[in-house]
A and B are shown apart, each in its own frame.
Chain A
Amino acid sequence: MGSDSFKSIELSKELFGHPLVGFLTTGQDGKIIQVNPCLADWMGSASDDLTGLRFSDLLTVGGKIYFETHLWPLLRMQRYFDEVALELFCRDGKRMQILANAYEKRDDEGNTQFICFTVFKASDRRTYEQNLKEDKYHAEQKLLEEREIALVREQFIAVLGHDLRNPLSSIMTAASLLSEEDDIEPHQPMIAIIQRSASRMAELINNIMDFARARMGSGLVVDLKPTEIDMVLQHGIDEIAISWPDRVILSEIDIHEPVHCDAHRLAQLLSNLLANALTHGTPDKPVVVRASSKNGFFELSVINQGIPIPSSSIEKLFLPFTREGGRASRQGLGLGLFIASEIARVHHAELSVSSDEQETKFTFRMPLNL
């Protein structure tokens, strides 16, 4: 018992006599009355040498001005300040990062009796904060760089797409003129190949440009208005049938009202879905286009038969530059389905896919009244 209480007295002497916290008091005029040994030790001075100075005399110039113009007024007005990061300017010229708290002790009449300051060493904490700030800065710089690179890349795609159009249209015009010449009959199959390939290429270029537009923020531009969509769809089917003379495309169109949409974009969507179905479907089986307007929805489906799309590929199907791995069939850039999904998006429609042993079916479903 006796030795226990001796120990606790020793302990409190140790804790209160040589604390790890700096203590300091000043009068209401701001002059230091008392400094504890810990703070005097940090300053590299004897406690007595510090009395009579102002607290700001212990600080580096930034803190000195901050204290006199901001912290002192704050103390006078709200009677305290908390957790302020400052720097001690020690006698040997070294600086020590600290956190300071202070409060004013007033008597019952509101007169200031003295002001108490506590000072904590905060070098590690400040280093940690500086490191965090630096990391944040570097991360932000990196992000800016990446954004710039991405922008240049997309601009490149857009410019490339645009510049490829002109020579291509020359090729198409020349092929068309050539096919009307006399005595050209033996060469017609070759000319047809040129024309088919050129229009396929035009499609690819359009896709690239739409991709760039969709990705560069402006998004696809659409002009939504009431449209006789059955005509548009039939025309789209006829056009693609010319490029695929050996294939059967069946159409089941059952629409009795105008649909609020962008005719050009829906033709593009159909063309992309059809090209996809013709490329991946079994060649000797027909591709079916089914369109209807009922129960408040306009629905357009493109159906082919053939090897089902593996379920692992389905979720990536509508991402740009996605191609079915390992299949050496006639493929594009992998943008067709991405653009189809973008067209669906700007029409507030849903584009879904189902695929099994019987059939692979892409369905565009759009509410008739938005």
Chain B
Amino acid sequence: MNIKVRNHVVMSGKGKQPVLFAHGFGCDQNMWRFVAPAFEQDYQVVLFDHVGAGRSDLTAYESEKYASLDGYADDIIEISRDLGLSAIIFVGHSVAAMMGIIAANKAPDLFSKLVLVGPSPYYINEGDYQGGFTHVQIDELLEALENNHLGWSMAMAPVIMGNPGRKELAGELENSFCRTDPEIARQFARTTFLSDAREALPTIHIPTLILQCSEDVIAPRSVGEYVHERIAGSKIVYMKATGHCPNLSAPDETIEAIKTFLA
């Protein structure tokens, strides 16, 4: 199997040390389009899509493998080994932050630094732990996905079959970002919002940066601080950027924070 094709790996940059950017739930490698170019001068930039997202090979999707974050972490390790990467600076957004944590535990030889953008090891409140959502809310989310009553299927690629004469539709397809197969999106949501990766945090011993946005409803401040406390020696930066996607909302602030950490 060609891993570069499977995960639609895209490489650029003039430097030697690799920065591996991993996207989270709901989008694809386009998520890094405003951030990644800033690292091309000094680093080797590696972008990819998780299987099931963007332009990855959908036929490689296996429900069983991707029912846990381990499956995604294994892919990250495979990509790294396939490309012969070492001393990797891993930058993971949202759920991909946890994939990076798991990968770094499984293959510590590969990674030198971790940058976690809006990380959350567990989205559900449990005892003293405030994940941000109640069990009932996550069930509601999963049910909404199951019945598709929120029309999430709009993430599907536009239907261009049967319109051979309309070439402009292919152009539209190029411009549609964050495409996801609705069935895979359902399963990815399940994996994302039901996985509990809290126990993977304390075994991380490489330099780690946590980027915490203000007013992030997906990964609230208390969760970022939890991650910070559990990873010894980690740094946390509270960003002015609001929401869950500083890589899109505030790319300059994001770049600045990562570069300061790497310097």
Is B191 an interface residue, CB under 8 A from the partner?
A: no
Q: Which residues of A contact B177 (CB under 8 A)?
A: 73-74, 77-78
Binding-face segment, B61-69, B148-156, B163-171, B196-204? B148-156
CB-defined contacts of B154 to chain A, threshold 8 Å: 83-85
Contact call B175/A63, Cβ cutoff below 8 A: no
Question: Of the 9-residue stretches A4-12, A27-35, A313-321, A327-335, which lies at the interface with chain B?
Answer: A27-35
In the complex, how many angstroms separate the beta carbon of B185 from the nearest chain A beta carbon? 9
A87 to B141, CA, bound (A): 12
A69 B145 Cβ-Cβ under 8 A? no
Contact assessment for A78 and B176 in the assembled complex, using a CB-CB cutoff below 8 Å = yes
| B-chain residues with CB within 8 Å of residue A126 when the two chains form the complex | 149
Q: Of residues 56 to 93 in A, which have CB atoms within 8 Å of B's CB atoms? A: 56-57, 60-66, 68-70, 72-74, 76-78, 83-87
Question: CA A72 – CA B177 in complex, angstroms?
Answer: 12
Interface check B7, CB cutoff 8 A: no
Indicate if A354 sits at the interface (CB-CB under 8 A): no
| Interface check A247, CB cutoff 8 A | no
Q: Does A130 contact B (CB under 8 A)?
A: yes
Asked whether B141 lies within 8 Å of A54 as measured between CB atoms, the reply is: no
Q: Do B27 and A69 touch across chains, with their CB atoms under 8 A apart?
A: yes
Interchain CB contact under 8 A, A74 and B140: no
Partner of A30, one of B144, B151, B180, B243: B243
Known interface pairs A84-B151, A85-B151; A61-B140 also in contact (CB < 8 Å): yes
- Flag if B144 contacts A70 (CB, 8 Å): no
A54 to B241, CA, bound (A): 13
Asked whether, in the complex, the Cβ of A54 is within 8 Å of the Cβ of B33, the reply is no
Beta-carbon contact of B217 and A73 below 8 Å: no
The CA-CA distance from A28 to B176 in the complex, in Å, is 21
Residue from B178, B242, B243 whose CB has the most chain A CB atoms within 10 Å:
B243
Q: Which of B38-46, B82-90, B101-109, B244-252 contacts A (4 or more CB under 8 A)?
A: B244-252
| Cβ-defined partner of B33 (8 Å) among A57, A69, A77, A86 | A77
Knowing A77-B177, A77-B248, A87-B150 are in contact, say whether A62-B145 is a contact too (CB < 8 A): yes
Task: Please indicate the chain A residues that have their CB under 8 angstroms from the CB of B144 in the complex.
Answer: 60-63
Are B150 and A62 in contact, with the CB atoms below 8 A? Answer: yes
Q: Are B26 and A70 in contact (CB under 8 A)?
A: yes
List B contacts of A130 (CB < 8 A): 149
Query: What chain B residues lie within 8 Å of A70 (beta carbons)?
Result: 26-27, 152, 155, 178, 180
Given A61-B141, A69-B94, A54:B149 Cβ within 8 A: no
* A54 CB contact (under 8 Å) in B145, B150, B155, B215: B215
The residue of chain A having its C-beta at the shortest distance from the C-beta of B94 within the complex is A69
User: Which residue from A31, A74, A76, A85 sits with its C-beta under 8 Å from B150?
Assistant: A85
- In the complex, which residues of chain A have a beta carbon less than 8 angstroms from the beta carbon of B245? 68-69, 72-73, 76
Chain A interface size range: 20 to 34
Find B149's partner among A73, A77, A83, A85 (CB 8 Å cutoff): A85
Q: 1/0 per residue B223-263: CB within 8 Å of A?
A: 00000000000000000011111001100000000000000
In the complex, which residues 1-51 of chain B have their Cβ closer than 8 Å to any Cβ of chain A? 24-27, 30-31, 33
State in angstroms the CA–CA spacing of A57 and B243 once bound together: 11
Residue of A nearest to B148 (CB): A133
Q: Cβ of A66: which chain B residues have Cβ within 8 Å of it?
A: 26, 150, 152
Q: Judge whether B141 and A65 touch: CB under 8 Å.
A: yes
Q: How far is the CA of A29 from the CA of B193 in the complex (A)?
A: 25
Q: Is B137 an interface residue (CB 8 A)?
A: yes
CB proximity of B98 to chain A, nearest CB, Å? 15
Given contacts A68-B244, A69-B25, A69-B26, contact A74 B149 (CB under 8 A): no
Minimum CB distance partner of A60 in chain B: B140
Cα A69 to Cα B150 with chains together (Å): 14
A29: nearest chain-B partner, CB-CB: B242
Query: Which residue, of A29, A31, A130, has the highest number of chain B Cβ atoms within 10 A?
Result: A29
Once bound together, how far apart are the Cα atoms of A43 and B243, in whole Å? 22
A76 to B249, CA, bound (A): 7
- Do the beta carbons of B244 and A69 come within 8 Å of each other? yes
A54 touches B249 (CB 8 A): no
- The yes or no answer to B218 lying at the interface (CB within 8 A) is yes
Contacts of B193 in A (CB 8 A): 65
Q: Complex: how many Å from CA A367 to CA B220?
A: 78
Give the complex CA separation of A329 and B215 in angstroms.
89
Given contacts A30-B243, A66-B152, A68-B218, contact A73 B140 (CB under 8 A): no
Task: Please list the residues of chain A having a beta carbon within 8 angstroms of any beta carbon in chain B.
Answer: 28-31, 54, 56-57, 60-66, 68-70, 72-74, 76-78, 83-87, 126, 130
- 9 pairs of A and B residues whose beta carbons are closest in the complex: A69-B26, A85-B151, A62-B144, A70-B26, A76-B248, A61-B137, A68-B244, A77-B177, A62-B141
**Known pairs A63-B150, A68-B218, A73-B27 / 19 extra A-B pairs, C-beta < 8 Å:** A30-B242, A61-B141, A61-B144, A66-B26, A69-B26, A69-B94, A70-B27, A72-B243, A72-B244, A72-B245, A72-B249, A73-B26, A73-B177, A76-B245, A77-B177, A78-B175, A83-B151, A83-B154, A85-B154
